[in-house]
Structure formats: C-alpha cells, structure tokens
A and B are shown apart, each in its own frame.
Chain A
Amino acid sequence: MGTDKNQTSKEEKKSSVSHIIEIPLVGSLKNFFTEVALITQFIGRYFKESLKPPYEFKEFFRQSYFIGYKSLGLVAITGFIMGLVLTIQARPTMAEFGAEAWVPGMVAVSIVREIGPVITALICAGKIGSGIGAELGSMNVTEQIDAMEVSGINPFKYLVVTRVMATTFMIPILVIFSDVISLYGSYIGVNISDKVSFSLFFAKVFESLDFIDLIPAFIKTFFFGFIIGIIGCYKGYNSKKGTEGVGQAANSAVVIASLMVFVIDMIAVQITTLFM
C-alpha cells in the first residue's frame, strides 16, 4: 500500500514537471517548429507539383482574374488615398525647410520603394489570403478535396499550385497599379495647395527615382505574392474539421501572411542596402 502511494506521488511529480516544461514555452516552441517544418514540406511539394505536367492553365487564368482583376478596385482606392494623404502630411514639414519642390520626389521614392508594395501586399493578405484560406478550408471540411483525389484529379495541383501561381504573378501587377495611382493621388495632393503641372510633377518624380528604387521593390512583390498564396493555401488545405476550422484557417492565413510580408520586406531592404 505504502509503495503504491510512493509510486503515485512520484508519477504525479514527474507529470507536473513535464507539465511545467511543456507549458507554455516549450509547447508553443514545439508547435512553432512543427508548423515551420510542415510549411517547408508544403512549399517543397508545391515546387515539385508545379513543375510536373499537366498544367492547369484554365484554372490559373480563372484564379488570376479573381485574385488580380477583382482586387484592382480595392488596391486603386487605397493607393490613391495613400498618395494623397502622404503628400498632404509631408508638405507642411517640407515647407518649413523651403523644400516644397522636393515633395514629389520624396513621395515617389517612399511609394515605389516601400509603401506601395507593403500596403498592397497587406491588403491582398487580408482579401486574398483570407479568401483562399476560407475557400480551401471549407472544401476540406466538406471533404471536397478528398472527393477530388478519389475521382483522379490531383487536388494539390488544381487548388494549390494554380492559386499560389496566380498570387505570385498578380500581386506585382497590382503593386504597379497601386504605385501609379498613388503617384496620381500625390499629384492631386500637391495641387491642393500649390500649382504644379502634370509634366513637371512627373519629371520631378522620375528625377528622384533610380533603378535601385524600382527593381528590388518590384522583385520583392513576387515573394509577397508567393507567401500570401502559399500561407493561405497551407492553412486552408490543412484546416481542422468543422466550421470553426474554416474560420481559424482564414484568420491565421491573414495573420501569418501579413507577418511574413514584413519579414520578407526587412530581408529585402537589407539585401538592397548591400548594393547601394
């Protein structure tokens, strides 16, 4: 009896120790590394599947239409407001130094290098990332993905590869539109308080822009697009069963994709600085 008691108390101690170790740090670290490993596996599978024929061009174009063209309105409005507000906010400070003439150049560099790509990527992470996460999540919950597999269609190729490809190629185009519309917003912003001709404004814009501003910013948008697509697909494809799982998939897709946009941006800035 006494030995039994000792054994139970030992076991209790052991379990409480492991409990302390597991919660909350070790447990969450374990989950984090597992998640990283699974996403890496998912990305590896994406590259493997995307290179192997047959290619789902039709679905790729359909997804490109929904991801790119259908997001243009939202991106355009945000871009216009961004350019306008940035100019209105920056002008008084520049005027204090007597440097109003530098406003177009300053706004152009800010928009093309940083604000345009990052804000557009964040908006797309919200709209497209959550959309993909929820769509694939509900397909997973309703076992449509399993049904596709049974009927001989490769669901990964059809659902994941096409969507990720579409986000990778459409986000850069959306960013170009956002940059152009932002600069137009900035032109309107400058003309609220001053009078600057369209040609002079854009001459000033291109005077201050360089390839080192445009090219790295454009290249990083492909990575933004890829990460938004892959995280959205991963979360949706591996969502938990049940309606709650769909919501969770959409939510975590947005959160992780937004966070990854900032991480990629930071790395891109560091790499660009090396070449400057």
Chain B
Amino acid sequence: MEKQKGNTIRLGIFVTLGVLFLIIGIYFIGQKQRLFSNVFKISGVFKNVSGLQVGNNVRFTGINVGTVEDIEIINDTSVRVDMVIEEKIHRFIKKDAKATIGSEGLMGNKTINITHGTSKQKQIEEDGFIATGQPVETDEILAKLKTTADNAATITDGLAAVMQNVSQGKGTIGKLFMDTTMAETLDQTITNLKRGTKGFEDNMDAAKNSFLLRGGMKRAKKNKEK
C-alpha cells in the first residue's frame, strides 16, 4: 500500500514535469509570435514582397519587435502586409517611419525593417499605414554585379594592353622602364647637372670674395643679423 502510494506520487511528479515542459515550450514559442504580449497593428503596401511570409520578423533598429501577421494582394500592383508590433515600441515608430523588406542574410528569411522617423513627428496610429520602400531584389543585385564585372573585364583588358606595351618598351613609360639607353642618358644628364651646380657654386664663392661685391655682401649680412 505504502509502495503503491509512492509510485502514484512519482507518477504525479513525472506527469506534472512533462506537462510543465510542454507549457514552457508553448509559452516561449507563443512569446516569439507575440501571443502573450500587448501588441498593436500597422500595415504597409508593397509592390513586391520578395518572398516574405506570414510569421517573418519585423525589426526596428535591428531588434525583433514584431511579426508579419497577414499578407494580402489588394490589386495587380500592390500587396498589403499586416504587422503586429510590441506596444512598448509604439512610441518610437513615428508617422514618417519607413518599412522596407530585407533579408537575415544570404540564405536567411525575409524581414521587414522599420527605419527611424523624425523625432518631432507624432507616433504612428494604431491600424495605420506605414510608408514603404521597395526591397532590393537579388536579381537586381546580380544584374548590377554583372555590369560591374563587365566593366572590370574591359578595364583589365586595357590594363593588360598597357602593361604589354610597357614590357615591350613602347611609349614614354615603356621606354623609361625598359630602354637602357634612356636610363644611361638620364644618368648622364644628372651627372652633368651636378657638375653644372658645382661650377655655379664655385663662381658664387669667387664673386663673394671679389672687392667689387664685398661691401654689398657685408651690408646684406648686417641687415640679416638685425
């Protein structure tokens, strides 16, 4: 009898713990979907939602503050996206805030990113509409990448031709790098220049010591000392 009572208590603890774990799991998943917190609803109209799905996150300043509640096609060019956002964030989202569709990473889920509005503006109304920006499409990025790659190819082709000319000693730079005669001439020019400067310096020394210019030199020295 005593043993049976003990077994019943153990069974009770076992079942209670199991149910408790289930409730904790449901609570945390529900919390993620803002089932147990105060929320407000806003909507945005997009031309293209780029694969956004119900349940995707809504971010404000990079923090998850809500989820996408519903996506509905209004007409052939617009899609309405309803979002539920935590009430405590409401005062930060101004009337001129803007919602854009982004991505959590290259392989990640789509998200709605809400940008700051101006602080002087009033907060957005409940069930109101938020301004939207067009999402950057992957196809668009790829198309731009292709143009950049094409341009890069043209530039590198030109560079290759220039380098080839340089290595063959064609043109001024090519001659400068590859032509030894030019280097020798340049070397000779510099030697000549050095020699010329030395000669000029000697002439100037001689002029300083000349009796014709000595008085003038002394005056200039005194003026400098004053």
- Also in contact, A180 and B11, with CB within 8 A (given A206-B32, A207-B32, A211-B29): no
CB of A133 to closest CB in B, whole Å: 23
The answer to whether the Cβ of A173 comes within 8 Å of any Cβ in the partner chain is yes
How far is it, in angstroms, between the C-alpha of A19 and the C-alpha of B54 when the chains are bound?
Answer: 62
Residues of B within 8 A of A64 (CB): 11, 15
Do A68 and B22 touch across chains, with their CB atoms under 8 A apart? no
* Complex partner residue of B29 from A173, A176, A179, A206, CB under 8 angstroms: A206
The answer to whether the Cβ of A46 comes within 8 Å of any Cβ in the partner chain is no
The answer to whether the Cβ of A194 comes within 8 Å of any Cβ in the partner chain is no
Size of chain B's interface in residues, with CB distance under 8 A? 22
The answer to whether the Cβ of B7 comes within 8 Å of any Cβ in the partner chain is yes
How far is it, in angstroms, between the C-alpha of A97 and the C-alpha of B105 when the chains are bound?
Answer: 12
Could you tell me the dominant secondary structure of chain A's interface residues?
A: helix
Size of chain A's interface in residues, with CB distance under 8 A? 24
- Residue from B4, B14, B30 having most chain A Cβ neighbours under 10 A: B14
* Complex partner residue of B10 from A69, A179, A180, A211, CB under 8 angstroms: A69
How far is it, in angstroms, between the C-alpha of A214 and the C-alpha of B27 when the chains are bound?
Answer: 12
Which chain B residues (7-45) contact chain A, with CB distance < 8 Å?
7-8, 10-11, 14-15, 17-19, 21-22, 25-26, 28-33
Which chain A residues (210-245) contact chain B, with CB distance < 8 Å?
210-211, 214, 218
Contact indicator per residue, chain A 44-74, by CB within 8 Å of chain B (1) or not (0): 0000000000000000011011001100100
* Minimal Cβ-Cβ distance residue in B for A177: B18
Do B8 and A214 touch across chains, with their CB atoms under 8 A apart? no
Contact indicator per residue, chain A 172-216, by CB within 8 Å of chain B (1) or not (0): 111011011000000000000000000000100011011100100
Residues of A within 8 A of B32 (CB): 206-207, 209
* Complex partner residue of B11 from A69, A179, A207, A218, CB under 8 angstroms: A69
Residues of B within 8 A of A202 (CB): 28
Do A214 and B29 touch across chains, with their CB atoms under 8 A apart? yes
The answer to whether the Cβ of A99 comes within 8 Å of any Cβ in the partner chain is yes
Do B21 and A68 touch across chains, with their CB atoms under 8 A apart? no
How far is it, in angstroms, between the C-alpha of A87 and the C-alpha of B18 when the chains are bound?
Answer: 24
Residues of B within 8 A of A172 (CB): 18
How far is it, in angstroms, between the C-alpha of A233 and the C-alpha of B46 when the chains are bound?
Answer: 59
* Minimal Cβ-Cβ distance residue in A for B16: A173
Do B29 and A61 touch across chains, with their CB atoms under 8 A apart? no
Residues of A within 8 A of B63 (CB): none
* Complex partner residue of A177 from B4, B21, B29, CB under 8 angstroms: B21
Residues of B within 8 A of A173 (CB): 14-15, 18-19
Do B14 and A68 touch across chains, with their CB atoms under 8 A apart? yes
- Also in contact, A61 and B14, with CB within 8 A (given A206-B29, A214-B25, A218-B22): no
Residues of A within 8 A of B25 (CB): 176, 179, 209, 214
CB of A247 to closest CB in B, whole Å: 29
The answer to whether the Cβ of B107 comes within 8 Å of any Cβ in the partner chain is yes
How far is it, in angstroms, between the C-alpha of A180 and the C-alpha of B32 when the chains are bound?
Answer: 18
CB of B12 to closest CB in A, whole Å: 9
Do A68 and B11 touch across chains, with their CB atoms under 8 A apart? yes
CB of B67 to closest CB in A, whole Å: 11
How far is it, in angstroms, between the C-alpha of A174 and the C-alpha of B22 when the chains are bound?
Answer: 11
CB of B38 to closest CB in A, whole Å: 20
The answer to whether the Cβ of B133 comes within 8 Å of any Cβ in the partner chain is no
* Minimal Cβ-Cβ distance residue in A for B14: A69
Do A68 and B15 touch across chains, with their CB atoms under 8 A apart? yes
Which chain A residues (129-172) contact chain B, with CB distance < 8 Å?
172
- Also in contact, A61 and B55, with CB within 8 A (given A173-B18, A206-B32, A214-B29): no
* Complex partner residue of B55 from A99, A177, A210, CB under 8 angstroms: A210
- Residue from A64, A209, A211 having most chain B Cβ neighbours under 10 A: A211
How far is it, in angstroms, between the C-alpha of A68 and the C-alpha of B11 when the chains are bound?
Answer: 8
Do B14 and A72 touch across chains, with their CB atoms under 8 A apart? yes
**11 A–B contacts from the bound complex (CB under 8 Å):** A61-B11, A62-B4, A64-B11, A68-B14, A69-B11, A99-B107, A180-B21, A209-B29, A211-B26, A211-B29, A214-B29
Chain B residues packing against A (C-beta within 8 Å): 4, 7-8, 10-11, 14-15, 17-19, 21-22, 25-26, 28-33, 55, 107
The 3 closest A-B pairs by CB, nearest first: A173-B18, A206-B28, A65-B11
With A176-B19, A209-B28 already in contact, 14 other A-B pairs whose C-beta atoms are closer than 8 Å:
A62-B4, A62-B7, A65-B7, A65-B8, A69-B10, A99-B107, A173-B14, A174-B18, A176-B18, A179-B25, A206-B29, A209-B25, A210-B33, A211-B33
